[in-house]
Amino acid sequence: MNLYKDLSNRTKSVACAIAGTGVFLLLVTGWPLRRPSRVAAAEPAQSSDIHVANMTKSFTVVKTSVNGRNRVGARQIALSLRNDYDKAVTAYAAGRDGVYSRRDLITAQAIPPGGTVEFQDATPPPPDDAGVVVTVLAVVLEDGSGDGDPKIVQEFLDSRAAELAQEVRIKRLLEKAAAAADEKFPEEFEALKSKVLGLPVKEAGRSFHYNAALNDTRNLELYHLDQLQRIRTELGSDECRARLMAAIERKSIKMAKLAPRKLER
C-alpha cells in the first residue's frame, strides 16, 4: 500500500482503519460537481484512458497510468502528483464521479516541495469504455493555508481541530493515571476506559467532519486502552505504566503537529 494511501473512512469502524494503515483515517464521500479552475486531458506520454481536472494551482499531475483491472473488472488507475508549491503539502484530496478520498499527512510524512506522491484508485469501466475523469480537488500546506476547493480544505481543518481537542482531553486522563502511586495505579488504569468513553463525540454548531473526528479519536483511544489492558494482564502494571507514559509522549508530538500554525505575512 502506498505510504500516502489514506487511512480513514469516517463512515467505517475505527477497527477497520487500524487494520488498514493504523495511522490515517479515510473519508470517501460525495462532493458537489463544480467547474474546476483548469482541466487537462492526459498528455501523449500518459494514459489516454485518464483525463485530469485540477482545482489546485501547483499540485501537478506528472504521470497517469492504468495498471490493469482487479478481479471484479474495475480499472486500477494511478496519478503521480508533484508538489510545486514552496511549502510542504500536508493533506490532499482527489477523486472521480463525485466521490473523493481525503488523505491527511499531518502526523505522518508530508510531501516536500518538489516531492511526489502516487494517488491510486479503482474505477468501474464507464459506458463504451470511455476515459476516466479524475479530479485533483484540494491541498493543505504546512502553514495551514489551502488551495483548491475551499469546502474540502475546511473539512481537513475541522477534522484536525477536533482531533487536537480530543487528544488534549485524553492526554490529561492518561497523565493522571500514569502519575498514580503504585498501589493506586491498577484502580486508576481500570477507570480510564470509562472516562474516555464519556468524552464528548458531538458539539452543537460544529460541522459533520469535526464531530466525526471527535468520535474517531475517542474510539481509537479505546482500542489502544484495550491493548494496554492486555499488556497489564500479561506483563504487569510496571510495563503497562511505562507504555502509558510512552503513549503520552507520542501524543505530545502529535498535538504539536495538529496545532494550527500562523500564516506567514
For residues 188-217, give the mean pLDDT.
97
Report helix, strand or coil for 130. coil
Contact 4, 117 (CB under 8 A): yes
Last residue of a domain, one of 145, 177, 196: 145
For residues 15-26, give the mean pLDDT.
38
The better pLDDT of the pair 204, 12 is held by 204
Helix axes 150-178, 237-258, angle to 10 degrees: 150
For residues 115-144, give the mean pLDDT.
81
What's phi and psi for 208, nearest 5 deg? -55, -45
Let me know whether 125 and 164 are in one domain. Answer: no
State how many domains the chain has: 2
For residues 28-56, give the mean pLDDT.
55
What's phi and psi for 259, nearest 5 deg? -60, 135
Q: Is 78 a domain residue?
A: yes
Domain span holding position 105: 14-145
| Residue 262: predicted pLDDT | 60
Q: Identify the band that residue 36 occupies on the pLDDT scale cut at 50, 70 and 90.
A: very low
Rounded alpha-carbon distances, angstroms, from residue 182 to 176, 241, 245: 13, 10, 14
Determine the Cα–Cα distance for residues 24 and 91; give it in Å rounded to an integer. Answer: 11
Last residue of a domain, one of 145, 166, 196: 145
The better pLDDT of the pair 29, 103 is held by 103
Whether the per-residue pLDDT at 202 is higher than 70: the answer is yes
Q: Is 235 a domain residue?
A: yes
Q: Is 2 a domain residue?
A: no
Q: Identify the band that residue 126 occupies on the pLDDT scale cut at 50, 70 and 90.
A: low
| Residue 261: predicted pLDDT | 74
Q: Is 128 a domain residue?
A: yes
The pTM for the full model equals 0.77
Q: Which residues contact 244 (CB under 8 A, 6 or more apart)?
A: 174, 177, 178, 189, 228
| Residue 37: predicted pLDDT | 41
DSSP-assigned states of every residue in 219-234? HHHHHHHHHHHHHHHH
For residues 102-126, give the mean pLDDT.
86
Instruction: Tell me the range of 29-33, 126-130, 247-251 where mean pLDDT is highest.
Output: 247-251
Determine the Cα–Cα distance for residues 90 and 139; give it in Å rounded to an integer. Answer: 8
What percent of the residues of the chain are helix, what percent strand, and what percent coil, each to the nearest 5? 40, 25, 35
Whether the per-residue pLDDT at 140 is higher than 80: the answer is yes
